[in-house]
């Protein structure tokens, strides 16, 4: 309350930022995005031929990595170029979902100091208006306006700095996951296509009897 009504949007932004941070920490857990051993298990499924539609549906719904590998397995009988294109398309959608709400968090990090500056300006305007009406005889009027301005400035920075740091952290985490998922998808792509495209050597014809 000491910061005045300009504190309301800062508090609102801080509540949204906290909700986003908690949700992203939960959603971007490594065990949730890339379950341990899933890549090797899926490649073993591909080699053994245990790839019925229900199996693929469960794989795709289990995790972002499973969705990426499942998309490759659904077109496993096509050419390498088509499988790779499907992996890239699915990867873009998966990365977009992993970055959900991060733009909002980045926006809060950007506007936090601006909201604090706005509150500072409002506090200074209030102080000068009080001085114009009552003069400078009462120092408490000036102290109240300056205090309101400083509280808004500090509050905006308190919201913006952690939001910016966590925004960069989550972006880096998503990028790292994307790189690792690309490695797993490439390994599966090689298993699906290298053996199928390697030419089988023809047996040499026996020389004709002289």
Angle in degrees, 0-180, between the axes of helices 64-74 and 38-48, rounded to the nearest 10: 20
User: Quick check: 190 and 115 in contact, CB under 8 A?
Assistant: no
The string of pLDDT tens digits covering residues 63-79 is 999 999 988 888 888 88
137 or 115, greater pLDDT? 115
Condensed to tens digits (0 to 9), the pLDDT of residues 102-121 reads 999 999 999 999 988 888 88
The two tokens of residue 118 are: 């706005």
Which residue has tokens 């490759």? 72
Two tokens, residue 199: 């030419």
Task: Say if CB 196 and CB 53 are below 8 A apart.
Answer: no
Q: Quick one: which of 170, 173, 169, 122 has its CA closest to 150?
A: 122
Q: How much is the pLDDT for 203? A: 47
Give the Cα separation of 153 and 147 in Å (integer): 10
Confidence (pLDDT) at 195: 55
């Amino acid at each position: 309350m000491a910061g005045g009504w300009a504190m309301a949007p800062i508090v609102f932004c801080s509540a949204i930022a906290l909700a986003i941070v908690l949700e992203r920490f939960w959603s971007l857990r490594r065990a949730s995005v890339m379950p341990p051993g899933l890549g090797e298990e899926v490649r073993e499924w591909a080699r053994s031929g245990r790839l019925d539609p229900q199996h693929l549906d469960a794989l795709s719904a289990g995790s972002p990595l499973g969705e990426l590998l499942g998309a490759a397995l659904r077109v496993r009988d096509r050419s390498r170029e088509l499988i790779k294109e499907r992996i890239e398309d699915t990867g873009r959608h998966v990365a977009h979902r992993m970055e959900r709400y991060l733009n909002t968090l980045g926006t809060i990090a950007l506007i936090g100091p601006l909201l604090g500056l706005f509150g500072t300006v409002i506090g200074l305007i209030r102080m000068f208006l009080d001085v114009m009406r009552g003069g400078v005889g009462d120092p408490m009027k000036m102290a109240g306006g300056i205090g309101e301005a400083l509280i808004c400035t500090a509050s905006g920075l308190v919201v913006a700095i952690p939001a910016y740091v966590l925004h960069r952290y989550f972006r880096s985490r998503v990028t790292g996951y994307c790189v690792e998922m690309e490695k797993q998808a490439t390994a599966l792509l090689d298993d699906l296509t290298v053996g199928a495209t390697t030419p089988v050597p023809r047996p040499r014809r026996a020389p004709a009897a002289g």
